[in-house]
C-alpha cells in the first residue's frame, strides 16, 4: 500500500527531525512506496522562492521528493476536496484548503496520510492517518 506524505512530514525530514527520519527509514526498509499530492510540491516550491539560499533549498526539496509518486489534482479529487472543505466549514472545523486537498487525494486513492498533524487531519471523516 502506498502512503501520501504530508508537507509537514517532508519539511521535518529536510530539517533532520528524528521522528520523521526514523519513520522514513522504516518505510524505505520495508519498501513501502511513497507519494505526495501536487499541492505538496507547490508548497515546497513556495518555500524555495522564500528561501535566502534558493539553490540549496531547491536541492533539499528535490532530494526529499526523490522517488515519490506525485498525484495530480484531478477533477474528481478537486470535487471531493470541495465537498470536504464545505463540510468542515459547516462544522466549524476548517483545516485549510491545502490540507483538504492532501486529505482528499488520500481518500480518493484509498491511501494513508503520514503527518505530524494527526489532530488536524483527523477532522476528515474516513481518512487514515499515521502520526510520527
pLDDT in tens, 103-125: 999 999 999 999 999 999 999 99
3-131: CATH architecture? 3-Layer(aba) Sandwich (3.40)
Tell me how crowded residue 111 is: count the other CB atoms within 10 A of its CB. Answer: 19
Contact (CB, 8 A) for 114 and 2: no
Grid cell 536541492 in the structure block, residue: 59
Contact (CB, 8 A) for 48 and 64: no
Please tell me the predicted confidence (pLDDT) of residue 30: 82
Nearest to 124 by CA among 89, 79, 78: 89
Supply the pTM of this predicted model. Answer: 0.92
| Burial of 18 (C-beta count, 10 Å sphere; 0-12/13-18/19+) | exposed
Mean pLDDT of the chain, nearest integer = 95
pLDDT digits (tens, 9 = 90+) for 13-52: 999 999 999 999 988 888 889 999 999 999 999 999 999 9
Return the HEC string of 75-99: HHHHHHHHHHHHHHHHCCCCCCHHH
Amino acid at each position: 500500500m502506498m502512503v501520501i506524505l504530508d508537507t509537514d512530514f517532508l519539511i521535518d525530514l529536510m530539517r533532520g527531525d528524528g521522528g520523521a527520519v526514523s519513520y522514513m527509514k522504516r518505510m524505505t526498509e520495508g519498501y513501502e512506496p511513497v507519494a505526495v499530492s501536487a499541492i505538496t510540491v507547490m508548497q515546497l516550491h513556495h518555500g524555495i522562492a522564500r528561501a535566502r539560499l534558493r539553490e540549496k533549498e531547491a536541492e533539499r526539496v528535490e532530494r526529499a521528493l526523490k522517488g515519490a509518486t506525485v498525484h495530480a489534482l484531478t477533477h474528481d479529487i478537486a470535487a471531493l476536496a470541495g465537498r470536504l472543505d464545505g463540510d468542515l466549514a459547516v462544522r466549524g472545523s476548517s483545516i485549510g484548503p491545502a490540507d483538504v486537498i492532501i486529505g482528499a487525494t488520500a481518500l480518493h486513492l484509498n491511501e494513508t496520510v503520514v503527518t505530524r498533524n494527526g489532530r488536524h487531519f483527523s477532522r476528515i471523516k474516513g481518512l487514515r492517518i499515521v502520526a510520527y
